[in-house]
Amino acid sequence: MHDAELQVALDAVRVACELSRHVRAALVTDDTLTKKDRSPVTIADLGVQAIISHHLHARFPADPLMAEEEADVLREPANAELKQKVLEHVARLQPALGEAEVMAAIDRGHHRGGASGRFWTMDPIDGTKGFIRNDQYAIALALIEDGEVVLGVLGCPSLPGGTLHQRSGIGAIFAARRGQGTTMSGLGHSASRAVSVSEVVNPADAVICQSVETGHTSHGRAARIASRLGITSPSLHMDSQCKYGVVARGEASLYMRLPSKTAGYEEMIWDHAAGCLVVTEAGGRVTDAMGKPLDFTLGRTLKANVGVIATNSRIHDRVIAAVTAVIAEG
């Protein structure tokens, strides 16, 4: 089931990964980093969204798309150079796409979501600071039907194919379909292999994977939770939904996203839809910090949820107990 959708999604994400790598190599310099210039990631965001949106629309024209970016920024006269660079990078891989087609493809991402119907959701560059640092970032694409994530693809251009410590090639792509498991392959067209979560049953033996940026998660709370669980191993810090991939292939057993400010904060669904399925289909479990399933039926955000916890399933209940106790402490 969803064979055609999976192939289109994989093809689109692979091309998008190539675009992101080329933008990063061509436009990010020491001077860019010093000046904190975000234009390269903006170019990559818009170019990736155009590529993936075009692929999806060509094959599934009736499917709406929910995505992060809009083309309005490129219509501003002051951003003529930015627009030209987006068009050049897209044309390098999709020469048939002119300005009108690129702008229309970017603008298709306006869908509002909901509990019924079928739509795609995408984060073109998840982990912008990782992208700029030449560290971890992801291109995330998921298909949602009647509020349930049924297909997810994560392109991780900087993630080693083996492990973070035993590298066997750079660039990994994870793919999952509901009820059919999770696979990982290289970003080329190499054969895929099934992946599964770790077999850790004692939370004290778990390795935690968490965000680099403290603005994305509360490292203080995470440390208190780890202490309650008896975890002493160093955490793996990385940006983006690559963390879901690392849990899915068993390199870490626990990913915690605990917002520093819970009041009024809502997670965007494109930040979690693909990764959630990748972990679940690899044998793991994903809930919010209170143990509630993630609810993808309420529009563009997970407004019914607080935080995200992804584990290998075996330790999930004990992790949730520790999380809720620490949150109750304040």
Q: Which residues are catalytic?
A: 45, 128
Q: What share of the chain is helix, strand, coil (3-state, %, to 5)?
A: 40, 20, 40
Residues 6+ positions from 108 with CB-CB distance below 8 Å: 53, 57, 64, 65, 67
For 3, other C-beta atoms within 10 Å of its C-beta total: 9
Beta strand segments in 178-237, E: 182-186, 193-195, 208-210, 236-237
Phi then psi for residue 322, to 5 deg, are -70, -40
Secondary structure E strands in the chain: 65-67, 118-126, 138-145, 148-160, 170-177, 182-186, 193-195, 208-210, 236-237, 254-257, 285-287, 308-311
**Tokens encoding 163:** 């492990």
State the residue for tokens 């234009």: 39
Based on DSSP, count helices (H) and strands (E) in the chain, helices before strands: 11, 12
Other beta carbons within 10 angstroms of residue 20's beta carbon come to: 28
Cα angle 253, 275, 51; round to 5: 145
